[in-house]
Structure formats: C-alpha cells, structure tokens
Structure 1
C-alpha cells in the first residue's frame, strides 16, 4: 500500500486564500494523504471554510486553537497531529502543483537515506498570477537555477543559502520528530529546521521542477518591516550555527550581517537608537557589510524623527 502523507495547512484569518490552498492539495495526483487544517484562532470565515471542506472529504481533519498560539506553535501542532510516513507543511496562501506529492514521494521511496526532498517554486502575486522574471531571479539567488536533480552533495550550502523552501518540501515525519520539529525561532523556524537537519548530517534530495507556488503580498511575512522580537530570531539562528564548508560559512556570515542590520533598523524604528548602534558594532570583519553598518551608525546618530524618515524611505537593507 502507498505510504500515507500528512499535509498540514497552518492558517490564521486568510479564508480567502485558504480555499485555494486546500483545493491544491485535494487535486493531487497522489491521493493517499491526510490533510490537517491548523486554525490559529481565526476570527474571520476560516472556521466555516475548514468545516465545509471537512464535510466533503474524510481525509480532512481540523485542529482548532481557541486562543492564538503563534505561527511556530501552530506549525508544531500539525506535526503532533500527523499520522503519516511523510510530512508536508503548506501555508494558507500558497499552493502545490498537482504532481507535487507524487514526484516527491517517489524520491523518498527510492532514496531511503534521504530525510527530505524539495523542489523549486513559482512566485505568484496577490491575485495568483505567476511572476516569471521574479521566479527566475529568486531561483538564481537561492542557487536552485542550475542545481541538478538528485541527492545533494553539499546540503549545508543550500541550507545556509536559504535555498530550501518549506512549502516546497516533503519530510520523513520520523526524522522531523527525531530532531525536535520546529524550534522557537518565530517565522524563521522553517529556515532553522533546515540548518539543524543539515548540521546533523541528514541528507536531502532536490527535484529541479517548479511544483509549488509561493505568494508574495502585503500581508505575507516575507514583505514589510519586522518588529524587534521577530528581528531577533534570525540573529539568534545565524549566531547558533557555523559550517566547516567555506561556501556554506560565507553564506551564513552574509545572512548574519544582514540580520544584524535588520535588527538595528527595528530598534531604530522604535526610537532605541543606542541599542541600534550596539547591534551595528557586531558587524566587524570577517562579516561582510562593514561599510553599510558604518553608514547606518552615522544615520542612527541623527535626531530620532529624521532617522525614522531615512530608514523607512531611502536606506533599506
């Protein structure tokens, strides 16, 4: 019998997008799955949407939180509820292509040594329209554009380069639980999971096809300014890990430097300029971005009102 796949859709107040995400799972060519809808205390029509779908398909279960527990905890509730051999996590505003499960289950069944497999992904806008130029640009940036299909030779490099997308990945559930699931890193818990898995020498495979769609819009976490707490998580994550591979370590240092800049900006936006300057002092060789840090340090010595205008409009990181 085909192995059961557990798909978790974590959701909060996005009923209008949730329907599309659920349909993308129900349209899979691989049909032996359970779909777990983890609703983090939504106050819109999300509960009704979940119930409507559950009434039409016995493979659907609902995990409803009466009080908001946060993104990472909601993801973890899905891991706890899952009963499958394999596990996928899909955000409520993203989609799977119809053959996503079929193709990745085939890889995991063929390569028993692989802990997870992932694909490339399309970038779509608020309306669901694919953005080919941005898709190509990000595939290149995340080093997937020329990456051949197969078991990766240097998975740490791709984890450090953030080339693995959680919405385009299928895990072995046993290994996901073995390593502790999603850690307490806020919205960066998915990235930290890939860093942890590859640091523990877990192998992975890549499929050079775009079998998922990642939506960028005004309310997605990938856009907009972040507060201090959310900006602290990436700093803690990149400080925790280091790599013996020179390329992976360089990628980590680049992202650590950027995370320091983002945290400094978050402090400055809340008027905590002294704290912002202290964070910038951490950007020293061999970290890249020293000149930008020095520029920000000078900016953060200006009057607070002027600082807010500059960092919001001109000096983005």
Structure 2
C-alpha cells in the first residue's frame, strides 16, 4: 500500500489530462499512485499513457457510457493508498500534498481540507465579464500555514440548514486529503461513495457526518485549473443554466432521482440541492433541509 492515491476521472478531455498527468508525475517521490479512469470515446489518452514508463501511473479505459458520478465511483475502486485525493483532469497536485499526508498519518487525522488560494486559468478560459483577461494566468492569493479544526457533525447540520449551497468549510475529497478507510466506511454504510448528480457535494456531506473532526489548512495542496470546457469554465461564461434534460452534464445519467419539491431546472443551486437531498436520505438523520430558504 502506498501513502496517497491521486484520482482523476475524465471523459474526452485528453488535451488537459495529458498536462495534468505530466505535472503530477514530475513530483519526485515514490509514495503515491496516480489513477486515471477514462471514459473517452477515443484512444488518445490511452495511447499517451501507454508510452509512460512510470509504475506510479495506473490507467483504466472504460468503454461504458457513464455519468460523472458513476465515473467517480468507478475510479475510487482502484485506490491503493492510505489516503486519497480527487482532482479534475485540468488540475494538478503540489508536493505539499505528500507532506500533508505524512502529517495526517503522524497525527492520526482522517481529513485535511484546504482553503483554495491558487488557481491556474488555461489559455482557453473565458469569462462573460472579463473575457480572456485571466487566460494563461496563475492566480495566487495570500495564504498562511494556519489550520482550523472543525467538528464534522456540526458542519454537516450547518450545510443541511443552508440547503447545501457550496462546500464552504465542509471536509473535502475533491482537492482534499481523506483517509481511505473512511471512504470505505461511507461506501459500506450508504452503498457507494457518491450519490446524486454533484459528487463533490455528496461526498463532502458524507465525510462531515462520518468524521468526528477534521482540519482545514490555509496552504495550497493542489492547483485547481479552470479550462474552457470545464464546469468552472461554464460557470464563468454563465452557460451552466437551462432545461434539466437538455444539459450535457445530465444527459449522461441513465437514471436519477429528482425530488418533487426542487424546480426541474439545471443550475448550480438545484444540482447541489439534489445531490445533498439524495445523499442525506442514505444517512440516518436526513431531516432539516430548509426549502423556504432554498426558494428565497
């Protein structure tokens, strides 16, 4: 077993994924594995990975048509590390991720989240407000090495009360470090790792409910990327809203439960709420969602 599994689930985005893979494997330590779970309808990324002679890389090409949530769930089945971190195919990790895994192991910490203080905007990134102003830019905000300890259940109930609008100070697997045994506990208790149509919200809630305490560090562990075709890119261009059944993100879901009290409309707010509601139904205490606040 290695110390850390870095997991990327991707689909038809080889141009970004290649750079991400190269960046991660350039970290000169042997304590991690990089898992690429690829559902692309071509072999571009597969052929690229076949040329890489690095035992840390594990590439899986899945020919099934999977939703994002299914892709995430499948990818985690290949984890061999004591700790796990998930990132997108236009992101990378920093060497500090390994250092914080060592710290988590030494201090017996189940989850380390981070305040996002650095971001890379790809050359094709565009914003409806600022156009290509931030394209090809590395944006770094001021950060410290401070850390804050949170109580899991307290943050869980706060998220339910706030209608799951963002992960905020919730514990994170996406751009966060999680002990793999905790992920396996969540799978055992709820049937799988992720539920609903927004996997990052889903797992954040499950982690909060199942971990007693976790820490958030004000120091970069990963480098999130914002590219033209990503959800971040769609959000920046304000193209992440519309009819539920017409959205490309939703079309890959073979079946999903959409609560009757949620508007059948695709938006960040409704997608987060759906994933949250579906997830807490798998958890013992599943009451408290504030529909009045949500509609307000």
TM-score by length of 1: 0.64
CA 1:30–1:202 in 2, change beyond 3 Å: closer, same or farther? farther
Q: 1:79 aligns with which of 76, 80, 83?
A: 76
Q: 2:209 aligns with which of 199, 205, 209?
A: 199
Counterpart residue number, 1:271: none
- Tell me how far 1:147 sits from its aligned partner: 9.6
Counterpart residue number, 1:151: 149
- Over 6 Å off, 4+ runs: none
Matched, 1:129 2:172: no
TM-score by length of 2: 0.68
CA 1:5–1:239 in 2, change beyond 3 Å: closer, same or farther? closer
Q: Matches of 2:200 and 2:176 in 1, distance apart?
A: 11
CA 1:146–1:153 in 2, change beyond 3 Å: closer, same or farther? farther
Matched, 1:13 2:12: yes
SS of 2:122's partner is coil
Counterpart residue number, 2:57: 60
- Tell me how far 1:289 sits from its aligned partner: 6.1
Matched, 1:182 2:221: no
Counterpart residue number, 2:284: none
- Tell me how far 1:173 sits from its aligned partner: 0.9
- Tell me how far 1:17 sits from its aligned partner: 1.0
SS of 1:37's partner is strand
Matched, 1:219 2:226: no
Of 12-21 and 198-207, deviating more is: 198-207
**Bigger helix fraction:** 1
Indicate if the aligned counterparts of 2:40 and 2:61 stay in contact, CA closer than 8 A.
Answer: yes
Indicate if the aligned counterparts of 2:72 and 2:199 stay in contact, CA closer than 8 A.
Answer: no
| Greater RCO structure (CA 8 Å; 6+ sep) | 2
Q: 1:234 aligns with which of 255, 272, 277?
A: 272
The Cα RMSD (Å) is 3.0
Indicate if the aligned counterparts of 1:5 and 1:87 stay in contact, CA closer than 8 A.
Answer: yes
> If you compute each CA radius of gyration, which structure gives the higher value, 1 or 2?
1
CA 1:146–1:199 in 2, change beyond 3 Å: closer, same or farther? farther
Q: Matches of 1:34 and 1:288 in 2, distance apart?
A: 40
Structure 2: gaps of 5 or more residues: 124-135, 160-165, 251-265, 282-287
- Tell me how far 1:150 sits from its aligned partner: 4.5
**How many positions carry a matched residue from both structures?**
235
Structure 1: gaps of 5 or more residues: 137-144, 243-248, 254-281, 291-317
